[in-house]
Structure 1
Amino acid sequence: MPETVQTTHKLEKNMSHLFRTTALISLIASPAFADITAQDALDMIKAQNAAMGLKMEVSQSRKGDTVTLDDIKLTGQLPFEWGSVELTSSGISLTENADGTVAMKLPDSLPFAMALSLPDDVYVTAQATSHAENYQNILSGTPGDIQMRYSMDRTHLELTELTATGAETFTLDFSLDITDVAGLSHFKTGNMLTGMQQYSYGGMDMSWTYQFGKVGSTNSFTSGRTSGKNSFALPANGIDFANSAAQLRDGMALELSSEMQDYHTKATIYIADKLQQKQDASVRNTVTDIRISADGFGIMSKAEGYDLAIKLVQLPFDIKASLTDAVANFKLPLLTSEQDQDLVYDVRLNGITLPEDLWALMDPKNVLPHDPADLVVDMSGKGRLFYDLLDFKAMQKVADEGLKFAEVTSARLNQLELSAIGAHLLGSGAFTFDNSDLETLKGFPATEGTASFKLTGINGGIDALQKAGIISPNDVMPMRMGLAAFFAAGDAPDTMVSDVKITLDGKIFTNGKRFK
């Protein structure tokens, strides 16, 4: 055999051996991906409902690789002895695929029924039907650790029947449409049900009309592209609202994030068939983040392009306003702690605009500047709780006996800003509080700290208010004297400044002069 052929043959033999060895090593080193069965999928669905406080009962029938779920019943107790709820449905199937995954399938028309038992012998029953177009949901993973990847072109939910006994006459019509739905969920069981959810949909259209006694209302809600992501750790046996403080300490937590485009709501309220109020609100884009854990409660919401119109029969004109953007950011503790905890209060309203017809009523002489107004109140601080806010029995005792349940130990004014009718206020400061001393400031904690403020255009604003007829000439002098008590002339025309200092012994200074 020629030398070249022998060399090639040896190379092929060595490479073949190398490939077999590498494949064996890879097989040993790689994690094993176990198949899941329809029962594993059903167990996870039951675990999800249990974490929401709902017990799931179901009848199963198998045909080949498909298990059909009928007589589905979810039952649970409402918190604080408010009653009970029961939900029923049928026709969901779970098919075991050859690749070890499970496909969840829905019938063309999925029926729902609900029974709600409330205090005072109030009993509500309802029936609804859901339609899902091109619904796909594939479950994969290992028993107790399952991922769900789902999508559908459109889902439609419609309330078909509702009855209420033991209460005033109540009727409700409801329908919901959601398009281009897609999502991914991951659940893991244990002492806690943990996991995450990602979702998106192309649009939502929801409408409802109700009549409760003499009060009736017609409502609609639409939105465009929406997406979100949630993560959670929930007790396996469900949230116990009466014991939620302890569950937070044990690790219960929830984070919700969403972004929605082209949000639009309409509402009309009638009493005895007579119009009382109409409201129309829209937001071009809104982002919301919510967090609940042992570290406290926090929410941040931002809206862009906000428009509001309200019609009240008591008023001869419509109330209209718009905002360029608005931000709200709040944080507060929920549980007691030996350490001071963070407090946040941050509200920002930019581009507050009133319509010209409303300006014509307030400023018929067209004297005031009609420029958009801005408002910023950004505060943070430290505080301490003496009772868990989610210990509802303790909080009831606080309310009944007038007990002190919290105190603020420090506060910082990061930014105070207001611009309107040609005037501008800017301020900042920081203070600490001695809550053991309520005598120095007559019931308010002894305070130490400083704050600085600057006013521009205020005198021109007062003159404009007088010319517009909003304040009388007799009001001008007291207003200027009040400002002079706290503010001094600044370096620029129509500018006033104020430096405030408070000492622990109760002294208050403004611009170096003792005020109290």
Structure 2
Amino acid sequence: MTRFFVAVAAAGLAGLPAAADVSAEDVWANMMAPYEALNAEVAAEPVREGDRLIVEELGIRFSFAEGRGRLLLTTNGVTLEENGDGTVSVLYPDVSEAIARMEFLQEDGSVEALDGTLSQEGTGLTLTASGAPGDVSYDLVFDELVQDVRITFPEELGGATIDADIAMAGGTGTYRLTEGELLGLTAEFDYPEMTISQVSEGQSPVVDGESLVTTTQDSVQRITGVRTTIEAALPARGLSIANLSEGLRDGLRLALTSSSESTRAETNITVNGEAIGTQSYELGAQAFDLRFDEAGLVLDGAFDGLDFAMTGKMLPVPMMFGLAGMEGRLAAPVNRTDETSVAELALTLDGLELGEGIWATLDPGGALPREPAALAFDATVALDVLVDLLDIEALVALEQSGDVPVRLQGLDLRNLLVKAAGARLTGDADVAFDNDDWVTFDGFPAPEGVVNLVLEGGNALLDRLVDARLLPEDQAGGVRMMMGLFAVKGEGEDTLTSTIEMKPGGVIEANGQRVR
């Protein structure tokens, strides 16, 4: 195992194993256990020299399903040194190197390859293993850790290159690998600052299809106060990447949380060596939570404060906007079930403000209110999952048969809010879907249920759009006619309400009047 694995999987404290001793061979076997669980072929020749186990070179090979390709990893080795107190120091070369090559077999027998290299060096770096055979904890400390990553895409995919330098300062972490029917990983990693410097370059044809333009993006991103925790399990008997659904049933799971205090980034863009634009953003505190197991996939995320700016020769004015905050949630099943499942989707965007440059372009006369905009909704979806969604072979067979992987059974929409330019739309919906009727609505299951909407300030907004010359008067009149067809006057000035009922047979009524 290389520092590459440490940097990717590394991280945290989840209790210590019972006090015992581990040998260098115990640690080596523990470090290789994740690759074995992923059905990888490991090529290495550990050599014992006194209190050291030396691995000059390590090769790891992952084969894709049905011979579609492979992933090859090669590193310049590692030394495991027994300290005489039951612990083992994991020692890397001054510069640790890894080479990755992903090969894809094409239908004509040719191979497309994606190549990547990683070099890594650190100051004040120590990695110490302790615990018992099959249950090893690793303590990581460094003053600075610097990684250099280079990725080269094949010519068939544009031949682009990406170079990135990743520098982490003052990091600490602990992770633990436990072996058994399930390979367990628990981890925690903290570092006060991370800087990512990246240069990407690619070529694309211009309109005539012959000349090429070279586009370069040079960016720097600084993140502070980063903390990551991981809790994961892999079936030790082997995991097929082409069928993660089976792996989930065998105990595959992942829980990951990540947070940071702030992020700042700036990107400069050039075309054929000429600077054409710059974009930058600042982001406040962020939090991210991912859970992935047999019950499904759950993603929760939030951040405070976003300020974004973009300037360039192609833009008439600087484009800037800000967002007070965002919260979002996605929860969905991924495996076939015999009963109806529920998926969740929720989003809140609060305090969206456009910069004066955007307003000057859209509305130079100031007809529209400049108040912050907002968007929010919370929805649950009832659905039947008819096939394992992470079983590639099953999905291919389903596509060939023409069947659908998921059937929509119902939608419950709550707390809808759209607020912008002085107008406000709120609403909710409760709709069921008839999967025995895909004809009435032309390839979509017939809906039955109710949608309730309230629009405040809609007519005033139409007047302002006309004044701002963003909407012609005749089109505004058409919109008013539609609003009159589907809505009735509600309580309060310039308030419209609408109750849309969808009934069997494709009948649709708006406020008691049939419109279909």
TM norm. shorter chain > 0.5: yes
SS of the residue 2:248 aligns to: helix
Question: How many Å separate the matches in 2 of 1:486 and 1:156?
Answer: 61
What amino acid is the match of 1:370? R
Distance 1:144 1:320 in 2: 54
Name the aligned partner's letter for residue 65 of structure 1: D
Greater mean deviation of Cα atoms: 79-88 or 172-181:
79-88
Distance in structure 2 (CA, Å) of the matches to 1:163 and 1:293: 33
Residues 1:307 and 1:194: Cα distance change in structure 2 (over 3 Å): same
CA positional deviation for 1:123: 5.3
Q: 1:59 aligns with which of 39, 42, 45?
A: 45
1:129 aligns with 2:119: yes
CA offsets, 1:115-138, max 9 Å, x none? 554544455666543222222223
Confirm or deny: 8 A CA contact 2:18 2:132 kept in the other structure.
Answer: no
Give the % identical residues: 24
Pairing 1:74–2:60 present: yes
In structure 2, C-alpha distance between the alignment counterparts of 1:480 and 1:126, rounded to whole Å:
58
Residue 241 of structure 1 aligns to a residue in which SS?
coil
Secondary structure of 1:380's partner? strand
The equivalent residue for 1:350 is: 350
**Secondary structure of 1:462's partner?**
helix
What is aligned with 2:479?
479
Shift of the 192–477 alpha-carbon distance from structure 1 to 2, 3 Å rule, reads: same
1:198-237 alignment to 2 at 5 Å? 198-213=188-203, 214-236=214-236
d(CA) in 1 for partners of 2:162, 2:18: 52
Secondary structure at 1:36 match in 2: coil
Residue pairs, 1:402-413, within 5 angstroms? 402-413=402-413
Corresponding position of 1:94: 80
Match of 2:29 among 43, 48, 60: 43
Name the amino acid aligned to 1:40. D
In 1, Cα distance between equivalents of 2:63 and 2:367: 61
CA distance in structure 1 between the partners assigned to 2:57 and 2:135 by the alignment: 26
Structure 1 residue 364 and structure 2 residue 330: aligned? no
Distance in 2, matches of 1:359 and 1:163, equals 41
Question: What CA distance in whole angstroms lies between the structure 1 residues aligned with 2:456 and 2:414?
Answer: 19
Aligned residues of 1:73 and 1:89 also touching (Cα < 8 A): no
Deviates most, 128-137 or 52-61: 52-61
Deviation at 1:506, TM superposition (A): 3.4
Which residue pairs with 2:249 in the alignment? Answer: 249
User: Residues 389, 268 of structure 1: CA spacing in aligned structure 2 closer, same or farther, 3 A cutoff?
Assistant: farther
Find the counterpart in structure 2 of residue 23 from structure 1. Answer: none
- Specify the SS of the correspondent of 1:369: coil
Q: Distance in 1 between matches of 2:284 and 2:295?
A: 32
| Separation in structure 1 between the aligned mates of residue 96 and residue 26 of structure 2, nearest angstrom | 23
Structure 1 residue 179 and structure 2 residue 169: aligned?
Answer: yes
Among residues 72, 79, 96, which one is paired with 1:85 in the alignment? 72
User: Structure 1 residues 166, 366: closer, same or farther in 2, change over 3 A?
Assistant: closer
Distance 2:152 2:414 in 1: 53
Q: What SS does the aligned partner of 2:492 have?
A: coil
Say if 2:71 and 2:100, in contact at 8 Å, map to a contact too. Answer: no
Equivalent in the alignment of 2:436: 436
1:238 deviates by 4.9
1:265 and 1:281 in contact (8 A); partners too: yes
* Structure 2: gaps (5+ residues): 1-16, 204-213
Residue 262 of structure 2 aligns with an amino acid whose one-letter code is D
Matched, 1:109 2:95: yes
Query: 8 Å contact 2:18–2:131 — kept in the other structure?
Result: no
Equivalent residue, structure 1, for 2:131: 141
Note if 1:154 corresponds to 2:144: yes
Partner of 1:306: 306
1:73 deviates by 2.6
What TM-score do the two structures reach when normalised by structure 2? 0.85
Question: How far apart in 2 are the matches of 1:368 and 1:166?
Answer: 49
Q: CA RMSD in A?
A: 2.8
Identify if the C-alpha distance between structure 1 residues 416 and 255 changes in structure 2 by more than 3 Å, giving closer, same or farther: same
Q: Give the direction of change, closer, same or farther, for the CA distance of 1:190–1:275 in structure 2 (3 Å limit).
A: same
SS of 1:353's partner is strand
Normalising to structure 1: TM-score of the pair? 0.85
Q: Check if 1:417 corresponds to 2:403.
A: no
Please state how far the C-alpha of 1:205 moved relative to its aligned partner.
1.0
Q: How does 1:327-406 map to 2 (within 5 A)?
A: 327-400=327-400, 402-406=402-406
Partner residue of 1:6? none
Checking the alignment, whether the CA contact within 8 Å between 2:320 and 2:357 is kept in structure 1 is no
Aligned partners of 1:480, 1:39: CA distance in 2, in Å?
78
Q: Distance in 1 between matches of 2:427 and 2:153?
A: 55
**Aligned amino acid, residue 363 of structure 2:** D
Q: Which has the higher contact order (CA 8 A, sep 6+)?
A: 2
Alignment CA distance shift 1:443-1:124 (3 Å): closer
CA 1:362–1:428 in structure 2 vs 1: closer, same or farther (change >3 Å)? same
Deviation at 1:393, TM superposition (A): 3.0
CA contact (8 A) 1:89 1:113 kept: no
Q: Are the aligned partners of 1:352 and 1:373 in contact in 2 as well (CA < 8 Å)?
A: yes
On the 8 A contact 2:335/2:389 being kept in 1, the answer is: yes
Provide the rounded CA distance (Å) in 2 between the counterparts of 1:400 and 1:40: 48
Q: Give the secondary-structure state (helix, strand or coil) at the position aligned to 1:389.
A: coil
Q: Secondary structure at the match of 1:137?
A: strand
What secondary structure does 1:365 align onto? coil
Q: Secondary structure at the match of 1:240?
A: coil
1:115 & 1:433 partners in 2: Cα distance? 47
Whether the 8 Å contact between 2:61 and 2:70 is mirrored in structure 1 is: no
Q: Relative to structure 1, is the Cα distance of residues 270 and 79 closer, same or farther in structure 2, using a 3 angstrom cutoff?
A: farther
The question of whether the paired residues in 2 share the 8 Å contact of 1:46 and 1:55 is answered with: no
Where does residue 297 of structure 1 map in the other structure? 297
Amino acid at match of 2:88: V
Partner-residue secondary structure (3-state), 1:371? coil
Uncovered stretches (5+) of structure 1, i.e. residues with no partner: 1-30
Post-superposition shift, 1:290? 1.6
**Cα–Cα, structure 1 residues 164 and 379, in superposed 2: closer, same or farther, change >3 Å?**
closer
Q: 1:275 to 1:398 in 2, by over 3 A?
A: farther
Please give the secondary structure, in 2, of the residue aligned with 1:225: strand
1: distance between equivalents of 2:424 and 2:374? 9
How far has the Cα of 1:140 moved from its partner? Answer: 2.1
Change (3 A) 1:387 1:275: farther
